[in-house]
Structure 1
Amino acid sequence: ALLERRDGSVIPILHTINTLVGHTIAGRSAREGQRESKPPPPPGQIILFRELGAPGPLPIHPAKPRYDALTRLLDRYAIIDRIEEALNDCRKNGTPYALCYIDLDRFRLVNATCGHEAGDDLLQWVATRVHEIVGPKDAAGRIGGDEFVLLLADKSEREAERIARDLQICLLEFRFGWAEKTFSIGASIGLVVLTPHFERAVDVLGAADHACRIAKENGRGRLQVYLDDQQMTTSRRSMQWVASLQRHLAEGRLRLYAQGIHPLVKPGAAHTPRGAHFEVLVRQLGEDGRFYSPVGIIQAAEQSGLIHVIDRYVARQAFRLIGALPQHALRRLDTCSINLSGVSLLREGLLDFIVEQLHRAQVPPSKICFEITETAALANLGEVLWFMQELGAMGCRFAIDDFGSGHASYGYLESLPVDYVKIDGMFVRDLQDNSLHRAIVESVHRIGDTLGIKTVAEQVENQEIADLLTSMGIHYAQGWHFDKPQPLVDLCASLRAQGDPSDP
């Protein structure tokens, strides 16, 4: 059990409850050998508390709970045990349970700008808020760096959703202060209702984690309810695909595609035509011969720590295709953008691998731009800066991808040698109707202009949004309004077919 002190701190305790009858505890007289002349008072109970870890013998010896050292909430293994017990109760007695998977949205920003001491302080504050929700049959735990789990007993989906939203509002309204800096803290939450079809606790946890990731992908600060097992089935298939990753790559089941990045030019403005500018994407070749979005396998690769294998495969294949272009076709190519994950940036040997592959394929480094997500750049600022400086000295360029999705400050852009900032599509899709998103896009463009950084709007889907972006001064746009992704081999073939631009 947990006990909250007057100063607000929470400590783990062991407790015993004994029956008190008259002057007798557990059936023994407090005055043995003396006859009672008065009727005994009504029965009662005496409760004894002992802090875990306190010196001296413990009065009882139950299984020792496992707690997270920082927050004093249950750790991952203990919370899995509690979920297992809840599953058994659900199957036998039909007791309703719901599990909330809580992932803080801006924790890395606090850690990166204020240090781990500030991060620890924030985690303890969040743990206290989570603990305040816990009822006598509930359980709360910390299962990762900034990830918490809340198991709610005797709660319907609607009741659990209300509790989760109340917690979300509490976190969103909180302002965390540290060393004259103030941060707004939000959370994405995945909610799953326990049903007998879940075989194990880890399946429940995986479903809640999956729902939480969908909440983050949909714009963060959201609550996503896990509806059925279809997504879990898809996730399992993706994990199986990744388990045979090397074989699938060797069989060519991951194909490179490309989507254009197009300049936005105001009417009447002077414009010098440039060569092809595109981002390299991937598509998964299914058993039916059709191509599918690789989102599931990318997520599975990230979870299993194999995303760096895909990143290197994509870079190697892209370099080979570009390096095989004749000189006249290469002159028609301005920029080929390739994505690198945060995991890849931390893997030893990435820089050497890229330098070797560029040299082997004889690709001019100035033709290559590496896209790094905002969250990856912020989480690994020192490594990313060194990586950019080394490849930048060779002529490679860099873009910060999904800018705005991590809610970071603009300050770190000053310290990174960035050529492009790609504005996250969540701010672009509803640009016409959302004044806040419009203000954010305009703000990013102004900052970029000040720093000499070109801005790219992602997910542009119609002419009206393209016109609005052009009027703001955004430099480039990418999206289905301009073109759909096409196989990279086809794009390279079109560059070859256009002939030498120097020919009369």
Structure 2
Amino acid sequence: MRIPTPIALVVLTALYLGSCVLGETSMRMGGDVTLFWPAAGIGVAAVMRFGLPATAIVPAALLPYHLVISPVPGVFVVGSLLANTLGTLAGGWLARRSQGEDALDLASVVAIVAGGIVLAVLSAIIGVPALLQAGMMPGEGTLQAFARWILGDFLGVVAVTPAVLAVLRTGTGPVAVGVSPLAEESERLAWLTLLALSLLLMAWGASLEGEYTLGLTALPLALLAWAALRFPPGWTVGGTLGTILMIGVMTGQELSGFAAPRSVLDTLNLLGYLCILALLPLLLASTVLERRRASDRLVLRATTDPNTGLPNRQSFEEQVRHALAAPDSPPRALAYLDLDHLKVINDTASHAAGDAYLQGVAGVLRANLPKADLLAHLGGDEFGLLLHNYVPAAAEDRATDLLRAVASYRCAWEGDALATTASIGLVPFHATDGDYGKLLSQADAACFSAKESGGNRVCMASLHGDDGHDRTQAMQWAVRLREAIQRRNLVLFCQPIVPLQAVPGEDEGRHFEVLLRVRDHVSGELLLPHRFLAAAARFNMGVAIDREVVGATLSWLETHADLADVDTCSVNLSAEALVDESFIGFLVDRLRNGSFPAHKLCLEITETSAVRDLARAQRFIQQMRSLGCRFSLDDFGTGFCAFSYLRDLDVDYLKIDGSFVRDPHDSELAHAVVRSITEIAHVLGKQTIAEQVETDAQRMKMQRMGVDHAQGHYFRRPQPMAEYFATPQLRLSRDDSPQPSAPTPALASGPPGR
């Protein structure tokens, strides 16, 4: 409850006193009860605004009025004080208790009507007997006095209270808060002019003393309906109050042909009509207000991020497009800000902590930007900024300041201080420098470059340069890969792994590696791995591809068990798969529920991915080995090349990288590396596989150095899985060398792939 200030009490008391004088002197109708008592509306408005203590203005105004300005018998002074004070107290309390969040919404209007009824009835019950007791009216006029008192007070409440509340601004904010304006200033000026003309026309028409003069009040009523539909509600209640006051004064003074009612029926007709005239525009305005407010809330919800309260991606795009369409605009810059490690906060502290951190970062960014600059939350951990009137150097300085602010921000969460850094991609531009899509793509690409460079830095992109070309190409490949996965356009090829040290005549099953091709759904072209694997790694699509490849391989081998004389089937796994719990769960379930023997499946992991997180790689290998799977360490020799960790990695094969096998200069160093890897592998009980063997000379060198197996185009190019199993298995010839097969069609050619 707001306590009224002394100044507010003085002003309200003066208004109440003035309205008493107005009602008594200008709107008395041949009796002792006025046609219209505006003081009742002021009292209810004061209580709704300031609470029950504001009722004190009623006796404070009535005492000087009855004792000095308009002296009356003492009995009526007491009765009038009780009637108006208790009526205001009861009616104001009910209206205040039931009012809505704003002064003129529908709930508040209904509350004003209910409060007005209570005030009018209670005040009449006390006041009319006081009139009789004081001898101020004849006993036979009691019924008419009750009707006049009740309707006069009620009219005063419904006509005056909304207007006073509009000035006092009750509730949580100003009237019509959150509602977008509809009418221009010129329309409002035209409305005021027409309202004044309509009131003058109504007065002129009444002076002609026609029988249907009151019908001219339809003119201001129509204008009040116009205001209710087009303007904030304050215009409607102001116009309504002015119209009611004019009719009341002209009727009470019998000006311009307006005659005061002489009977109870005439009184009821006139006051009832005036009450309707006051209520209809008010109800229409409050209904329109709520509809417009609901519409604005929907728009706000559609254009605002609920967590940070900032404009969302859609709103940001609209405002940037508007800036691009503005001619002769000053230089601007589009910034794309991405938090570097929000995922760590989400994973360690919870997503609620991440949301709290985002809210704090939004506040930090807003506090460090001029009001003219636009800040939006684009989703996740990404923010968009439109910097106005910035040359490139100034925009970069501003972006650097924002990074410092983010880096220094600490968010308190359950006793911890959450913190991270951010990266910003920046694109300076003018209004004629392309469209929104190109701008955002360039800024995103620059931000990605900043993150790849270590984060917590600004990367400036040129709108006309090729800074984002690689990034854009990678994004296009990511889209094509996603489509290929959804359309099941991943094609499996196989390439044999041939034993070099096998005993001639020994019958073994097929040992092969599964390789991946992607069929383009538009051209039908088979795409080799070197064209898309970098994009897959860049956009974290490795696990999705691994699931499809493993699932399709096992399904094919299970379906064609009669053809698949398999000893070892090798399948590549990405580095992400080793630490992805969902993939591990998928693989375990697939092997347990499938018919393909797990001991025939060999999972290939690269040396660099295994050493990146040695402990997790060990757990993964142990978990899969418990099911019977075998392992190959791929591309061995190109990574850390530290033999000490081989004891900790329980793998079956070391695949010697092809760069040591096909050295163009017949390097002694390459040969020494191959010998060392082979000897250490044998000491540890592991076998070796030489990759990318392309000539018979390379095959013979590997065989002489003790390498156990070989793989490459010399033996057979990769073939589609069905074609591979339809081709006879490679066998050792009499001179202990496998017989190379004829090359397969050109679609399978190219660099060795995944």
TM-score range, shorter chain: 0.5 to 0.7
The SS at the match of 1:483 is: coil
Counterpart in the other structure of 1:265: 501
Q: How many angstroms does 1:236 deviate by?
A: 4.3
Note if 1:349 corresponds to 2:582: yes
Distance 1:66 1:292 in 2: 41
Distance 1:148 1:62 in 2: 11
Q: How many angstroms does 1:146 deviate by?
A: 6.3
Q: How many angstroms does 1:495 deviate by?
A: 7.6
Counterpart in the other structure of 2:509: 275
Note if 1:306 corresponds to 2:652: no
Distance 1:339 1:378 in 2: 16
Q: 2:401 aligns with which of 64, 72, 81?
A: 64
8 A contact 2:423–2:457 mirrored in 1: no
8 A contact 2:500–2:708 mirrored in 1: yes
Counterpart in the other structure of 1:364: 597
Q: How many angstroms does 1:345 deviate by?
A: 1.4
Relative to structure 1, the CA distance from residue 324 to residue 413 in structure 2 (aligned partners, 3 Å threshold; closer, same or farther) is same
Can you list the C-alpha shifts for 1:355-394, whole angstroms capped at 9, x where unaligned? 2212333110111000001111011211111111122122
The SS at the match of 1:64 is: helix
After superposition, residues 448-467 of structure 1 pair within 5 angstroms as: 448-467=681-700
Counterpart in the other structure of 1:288: 523
Q: 1:77 aligns with which of 386, 400, 423?
A: 423
The SS at the match of 1:479 is: coil
Counterpart in the other structure of 1:442: 675
Relative to structure 1, the CA distance from residue 467 to residue 149 in structure 2 (aligned partners, 3 Å threshold; closer, same or farther) is farther
Counterpart in the other structure of 2:477: 238
Q: How many angstroms does 1:440 deviate by?
A: 1.2
Distance 1:372 1:471 in 2: 27
8 A contact 2:450–2:459 mirrored in 1: no
Q: How many angstroms does 1:408 deviate by?
A: 3.1
Note if 1:470 corresponds to 2:709: no
Structure with the larger RCO, 1 or 2 (CA within 8 Å, 6+ apart): 1
Can you list the C-alpha shifts for 1:417-460, whole angstroms capped at 9, x where unaligned? 11001111122221652222221111111111110111111111
Paired AA for residue 64 in structure 1: D
Counterpart in the other structure of 1:381: 614
8 A contact 2:607–2:639 mirrored in 1: yes
After superposition, residues 4-83 of structure 1 pair within 5 angstroms as: 64=401, 66=403, 77=423, 80-81=425-426
Counterpart in the other structure of 1:413: 646
8 A contact 2:694–2:714 mirrored in 1: yes
8 A contact 1:366–1:397 mirrored in 2: yes
The SS at the match of 1:460 is: coil
The SS at the match of 1:349 is: helix
Distance 1:64 1:150 in 2: 10
8 A contact 2:484–2:519 mirrored in 1: no
The SS at the match of 1:466 is: helix
Can you list the C-alpha shifts for 1:7-40, whole angstroms capped at 9, x where unaligned? xxxxxxxxxxxxxxxxxxxxxxxxxxxxxxxxxx
Counterpart in the other structure of 1:251: 487
After superposition, residues 98-497 of structure 1 pair within 5 angstroms as: 143-144=451-452, 197-198=464-465, 204=467, 206=468, 234-242=473-481, 245=482, 247-265=483-501, 272-286=506-520, 287-327=522-562, 329-330=563-564, 332-430=565-663, 433-494=666-727
Distance 2:552 2:401 in 1: 53
TM-score, length-scaled by structure 2: 0.37
8 A contact 2:509–2:567 mirrored in 1: yes
**Alignment: residue pair count:** 303
**269-278 or 487-496: which moved more?**
487-496
Can you list the C-alpha shifts for 1:270-316, whole angstroms capped at 9, x where unaligned? 56332111111111112222312133332222211121011000000
8 A contact 1:397–1:418 mirrored in 2: yes
* Unpaired segments ≥5 residues, structure 2: 1-397, 409-420, 434-448, 730-754
8 A contact 1:324–1:361 mirrored in 2: no
**296-305 or 338-347: which moved more?**
296-305
Paired AA for residue 581 in structure 2: E
Distance 1:349 1:144 in 2: 26
Relative to structure 1, the CA distance from residue 333 to residue 382 in structure 2 (aligned partners, 3 Å threshold; closer, same or farther) is same
8 A contact 1:282–1:294 mirrored in 2: yes
Q: How many angstroms does 1:149 deviate by?
A: 9.3
Q: How many angstroms does 1:77 deviate by?
A: 2.8
The SS at the match of 2:401 is: coil
Counterpart in the other structure of 1:9: none
8 A contact 2:567–2:600 mirrored in 1: yes
8 A contact 2:422–2:455 mirrored in 1: no
8 A contact 2:400–2:458 mirrored in 1: no
Q: How many angstroms does 1:253 deviate by?
A: 1.6
**Higher strand proportion, which one?**
1
